[in-house]
Structure 1
Amino acid sequence: MSAPTQQSADGVNAPDDADEELTWLADRRRIETIEAISVGAMARRLPTLVVRAFRLGWRIDRFSVALLLACQVLSAVLGATGLLATTGTIAALFGPGRVGDKLAHAAPSILVIAAAAGARSLLGITIRTITIHLSPRISREAEAAVLRATVAAELTAYDTAGYNDELDAADRGADVCVDIVGEAQNLIASVASLIGAAGVLTVLHPLLLPLLVLAALPQGFASVRAARVQFLANRATIGDRRIMANLRWYIHVKRNADQIRSDTMGDFLLEKYEHVGRRLDATSRRAALQSARVSVLGAAATGLGTALVWAAMLWLVSTGRMGLPQGGAAVFALGAVGTSLHGIVGYGADLFRTGMYLDDWSTFLDTAGGHRLQRGDRVPEPPRRIAVEDLRYAYPSSERTALDGVNLHVERGEILALVGENGSGKTTLAKLLSGLYLPTAGSVRWDGHDTRDLDPHALWHQVAVVPQDYARWPLTCRDNITLGQPAADGDAAVLRAAEASGAAEVVAKLRRGLSTLLAVEWMGGEELSGGQWQRLAIARAFHREAGLLVLDEPTAALDPRAEHRIFRNLRAVAQERAVVLVTHRLTNVAVADRIVVLEDGRVLQEGTFSELVAEKGGRFRELWDLQNERSGLPAQRVSPSCENEGPVR
């Protein structure tokens, strides 16, 4: 499930394939760039990340973001006011005079402290409520953005090494978006509290603040290093986590459940899962130990720095350079500043790590993993003629040419059949005709216009495809036929398509007809057989008002009666469409106006059914004879009880 790897000079696993080597080198360069990030770089980047976080929120809910920022500013002002009032309270309580007079002088400051504390508590509740309300919405929007970018990527992206890793990294970035607003607002809150407390501390004695900042720096270095280590470990294990996700899907999905049991593959797949899990655990364990070592060193250095700060404060008080009331207020201010500094370091490191994931997300959105659709904007009409000229196509992950020097055409009202042995290029050619792929060289032209110059979405509106592996959407029967694009006459058109494909019999047997949910795993859902699903897949193509109809092995799962019905109705369906039929069943291509025989990506023969059957020594005639000739097969087994009675007839 993963690409073969070889050991590189530095001991890192590197892919064998040349394309994957390029992907690996590009990713390695990115990792080296991340490893070079310093605390200074983090400090410079944090404002950008905070702005990015609130821009995401601003697109979702402007009022909530504005209220969140206002609450943060007000909370910081109240925090500084409370600290200043604390200084007045301590000065009043430790000053000369009677106890009653001291309390009277301290009462206004105490009221200010209480009011500020109460108001900050209410603001904190408001901030948390807004964050809880806003964060999931941002995460959903980030996930939706990835989905939009995925749909906007060329189909060949899935054939390109490294694309799935980029997609998984973008998904991870979307996942962490749920945290970014909370981390950003926590960082802002810490900065705001620091500004207020630092101002008070500077007024009390200017020496204390720089000492406290120096004490917090080691923890800052450690936090950045730990965040970097965790991110790199996560990035390095993307492939393994995707393998585990795929194995989970293959093991528990109903589609494979019978084969897992009949092939006794359960233990084998579970061992694969455990093996990859152990490899993943080893990487995570190394990252955790490395982070722990860095954090312990940072905590130790920060502890020494904090001790130095307190020693300096005691020295200032004991030498008379700071009065006792100021010293008492400094205790509170030091606590507030220390908490704010640790908050900045901790939340800053969290936001920094989230920002690295967010980079993967935003990079994918900008380029769709490097495969964003970049074609023309011409809107095609239903094609009258589709022509292939000197066509060549090679898959991105393969050095072998799938199609080479192909020339052919298909016109409206015509049925063109593509036949050939496995790997001859039939399905690839069908995807090029329908604009799902673009040629490596040569051209596919719709009414003279190169598919590279056509708007892809407008082109696909003119295409109806029944692929070999058709989708079984967990939707109603109606939606499985209309695909969310109902015709003007609604269910009447659905039923006409169902009748033409033989799916009407399927619909008639469903509990709620067209409204039946076709997903047995959901309450009220029903399951269909493979042949019934194939009838629906053909019905959705017949229902679609498209100028090109592509049928790739459309009757592989159908019984003879259903198959006969499809081909009996195909000529009527083809009256207003160009039809391309891909099949191995050569008896079915008798319905075609022309047949193209492909071999190793080249056109070997072309002609009508009668012409190709009559051409002795031709490839079509060879395949026809092999498919219909049974004289060379082994004789029927003779039952022991009938040995003397001749062969069983």
Structure 2
Amino acid sequence: MTETSQAPTGAADTRPDTEPQEHDEELRYQFPGDKRQDVGRSISSTTMVRRLPHLIRRALALAWQADRRSTLLLLLAQAASGVFGALALYATTGTLAALLRPGPVTAHLRAAAPSLTLLTASVALRAGLGIAVTTLAGRVGPRVNRDADLKLIEAGCSAELAAYDQPSYNESWEAADRGAATTPDLLGSAQDVIASTVSLIAAAGVLTTLNPWLLPFLLLGSIPAGLAAVRTARIHYLAAVTTNDERAALRIYRWHLIDKQRADQVRSDQVLPFMMAMYRKAEARIVAVTDKAGTDAARVSLLAALASGVGAALMWGALLYLVSSGRIGLAAAGSATFALRTAAGGVQGMVGHGARLYRMGLYLDDFFSFLDEAGGHRIARGEIVPGPPKTIEVTGLTYCYPGEQQEPALRGVDLTLHQGEVVAVIGQNGSGKSTLLKLLSGLYLPQDGGGRILWNGIPIEDLDADGLFRQVARVPQEFARWPLPAHANIHLGHHDGDPGEAVRNAAALTGFDEVVSRLRSGWRTLLAQGWQGGAELSGGGWQRAAVARAFYRTRRRPGLLILDEPTSDLDPRAEHRILHALHDLAQDRITLLVTHNLANARLADRIVVMDQGRIVQTGTWDELARQPGGLFRELLDLQQDRTLPAQRTAAE
């Protein structure tokens, strides 16, 4: 039984406010230079007609790259379907003419037999071709989507790391991802437009032979529908663009609530009501925009339906006039009826599917734009392939992350590193240590006017990016936990045959081999809990794997070894083992170690102390420990201070 209690009347309500405050800053992803709203407003019938052939060619090009044989068969099947559609309409004329002539029924049937046979065969063959078209489209579509996803991933991994700090890049990625998701539907819409066009051409050819005056009346029922389709496409596209930032915020809120890494805090901190209020607030803005868009689109569609009805009435009235005036016979009128229905369906299909294709094309533009420039941040550096760095020189390095309220992460840093040297980087949280290491390893580039980094005297931006990365082995603070077998988590595909011995040697330096020995399938164990046969490691187990990964890579080639808090989750025994291994590996390479445990910095040849983005002290461990009033001495005293507050008294 659950009991509830109420606060006494007049008592202050101390419960936390689960509603977001009115003036709190919120997640907003709109960014300068976003031209999609301008593109949306420019949507018109003229632009649609002008772009449709281009979009169809683009869709067929994607299909051709994915599966040439199926795409060719698809086009042939659609063309044949149009031919048999025209034959069916012509056969209808012959059949009706034979049946409507005066005379015995048997004579009518004999006269109609050839046309009826052609009609039956055409309809049957067209139905079979329709099944073939559906099957082939179902075969090509997934392949197109697969290729689009692969291209998108490749482009995303070809962007500079600094791109992830830019809201414009994140938004470009989301837009490109939506574009990639539309590629199977794009092919389907292009196919529908082609099929509708083929049907229209076939029906128009039949109508021309019956009476050319029937052709203009087709437009009366189609133009209003076409204009409405374009108008509604513009309304819905603008609504989608307008709510992009809210949709991005919803994805972030949802991810933070369901992600395993935060699941314990969602429950223990009881954050769900507050976060759900933020979610509902953003969702309410989306609902308001989409509701208005739906109402506006319905109004446009209603007006178009009324106009199309008037056009259809005029078209059928014209047909009746031609029959009553004797300009066409009754059999031709019957054929014209079928042809008009087919042609009207073809026109409406071209308009409807064309409008949908045009709308998808807007998202596809985002996709191809991202492929071309990786969201405007494609890695485009020099062509010099570097060897192991003998010296790395940093001069006047300043770096600031994007954001209106950001302070510089680095301010005028000067530093020179030498091969064979171990340098420890010390500082409080937020002092710029990790940013400096990312710049030294080439993950970030110096900003314009923000100083220089030289590898062996060459500016880092003039070096080939892949060649530079091959010279770097690093353990970041937040290391990857790859869903791969244990051995693959170490070599990551970098080996010259059988990597077994090299993997085991690297793992022995960190104690990861002991972790693997306790796994059910040893080195073959999948490190992905929740998957068949998968296992999960402790935080310390994963950190041993991350350090072993860097040591394996170091022994293969790299001349720069970077370890950012490599022992933060480890017990003293594992930490001792790794630091001794690090000392042995330091020869013939530049080694950088970030650690908050100042005792570990004793193994360094030199210590660099950072504070608020600047280097404030440099020297050996003993030199810095003897400097009174320095930051290193202050941090060392705090770390060695083991005095505790007195035990509380009973009264306290």
TM-score by length of 1: 0.92
Counterpart among 427, 447, 453 of residue 420 in structure 1: 427
Shift of 1:230: 1.7
Counterpart among 576, 587, 590 of residue 575 in structure 1: 587
Shift of 1:487: 5.6
Given that residues 480 and 536 in structure 1 are in contact (C-alpha distance below 8 angstroms), is that contact kept between their aligned partners in structure 2?
A: yes
Q: Which residue of 1 aligns with 2:647?
A: 636
Match of 1:510, SS? coil
Query: Whole-Å Cα distance in 1 between the matches of residues 279 and 407 of structure 2?
Result: 33
Shift of 1:496: 1.2
Q: Does 1:624 align with 2:631?
A: no
CA deviations on 1:267-323 (whole Å, 9 max, x unpaired) are: 333333333333333322222222222111111211111111001111111122222
Match of 1:576, SS? coil
Task: Structure 1 unaligned segments of length 5 or more: list them.
Answer: 8-12, 644-649
Q: Which residue of 2 aligns with 1:647?
A: none
Q: Which residue of 1 aligns with 2:16?
A: none
Q: How do residues 94-493 of structure 1 correspond to structure 2 at under 5 angstroms?
A: 94-397=100-403, 400-440=407-447, 441-486=450-495, 488=497, 490-493=499-502
Shift of 1:15: 9.4
Q: Which residue of 2 aligns with 1:504?
A: 513
Match of 1:423, SS? coil
How many matched pairs? 626
Given that residues 472 and 559 in structure 2 are in contact (C-alpha distance below 8 angstroms), is that contact kept between their aligned partners in structure 1?
A: yes
Counterpart among 594, 601, 621 of residue 606 in structure 2: 594
Query: Whole-Å Cα distance in 2 between the matches of residues 477 and 269 of structure 1?
Result: 37
Q: Which residue of 2 aligns with 1:584?
A: 596
Shift of 1:460: 1.0
Given that residues 221 and 344 in structure 2 are in contact (C-alpha distance below 8 angstroms), is that contact kept between their aligned partners in structure 1?
A: no
Given that residues 171 and 361 in structure 1 are in contact (C-alpha distance below 8 angstroms), is that contact kept between their aligned partners in structure 2?
A: yes
Shift of 1:482: 1.4
Query: What amino acid does structure 2 have at the position aligned with 1:391?
Result: L
Shift of 1:582: 1.3
Given that residues 226 and 291 in structure 1 are in contact (C-alpha distance below 8 angstroms), is that contact kept between their aligned partners in structure 2?
A: yes
Query: What amino acid does structure 1 have at the position aligned with 2:463?
Result: L
Query: Whole-Å Cα distance in 1 between the matches of residues 592 and 402 of structure 2?
Result: 25
Given that residues 36 and 241 in structure 2 are in contact (C-alpha distance below 8 angstroms), is that contact kept between their aligned partners in structure 1?
A: no
Query: Whole-Å Cα distance in 2 between the matches of residues 250 and 31 of structure 1?
Result: 29
Query: Whole-Å Cα distance in 1 between the matches of residues 130 and 102 of structure 2?
Result: 38
Given that residues 220 and 312 in structure 2 are in contact (C-alpha distance below 8 angstroms), is that contact kept between their aligned partners in structure 1?
A: no
CA deviations on 1:377-414 (whole Å, 9 max, x unpaired) are: 21111222222122222223355322222121222221
Shift of 1:6: 9.9
Shift of 1:164: 1.1
Query: What amino acid does structure 2 have at the position aligned with 1:490?
Result: P
Query: Whole-Å Cα distance in 1 between the matches of residues 151 and 498 of structure 2?
Result: 34
Shift of 1:639: 7.2
Worse-superposed segment, 171-180 or 562-571: 562-571
Q: How do residues 52-63 of structure 1 correspond to structure 2 at under 5 angstroms?
A: 52-63=58-69
Match of 2:592, SS? strand
Given that residues 487 and 493 in structure 1 are in contact (C-alpha distance below 8 angstroms), is that contact kept between their aligned partners in structure 2?
A: no
Shift of 1:260: 1.6
**Alignment CA distance shift 1:598-1:352 (3 Å):** same
Query: What amino acid does structure 2 have at the position aligned with 1:601?
Result: G
Query: Whole-Å Cα distance in 2 between the matches of residues 295 and 608 of structure 1?
Result: 78
Query: Whole-Å Cα distance in 2 between the matches of residues 486 and 635 of structure 1?
Result: 58
Percent identity, aligned pairs only?
49
Query: Whole-Å Cα distance in 2 between the matches of residues 175 and 66 of structure 1?
Result: 23
Worse-superposed segment, 482-491 or 54-63: 482-491
TM-score by length of 2: 0.92
After superposition, the CA RMSD in angstroms is 2.2
Shift of 1:45: 0.6
Q: Does 1:610 align with 2:617?
A: no
Task: Structure 2 unaligned segments of length 5 or more: list them.
Answer: 1-20
Shift of 1:346: 1.2
Given that residues 409 and 432 in structure 2 are in contact (C-alpha distance below 8 angstroms), is that contact kept between their aligned partners in structure 1?
A: yes
Query: Whole-Å Cα distance in 1 between the matches of residues 287 and 419 of structure 2?
Result: 59
Shift of 1:427: 0.6
Match of 2:206, SS? helix
Shift of 1:245: 2.5
Query: What amino acid does structure 1 have at the position aligned with 2:633?
Result: R
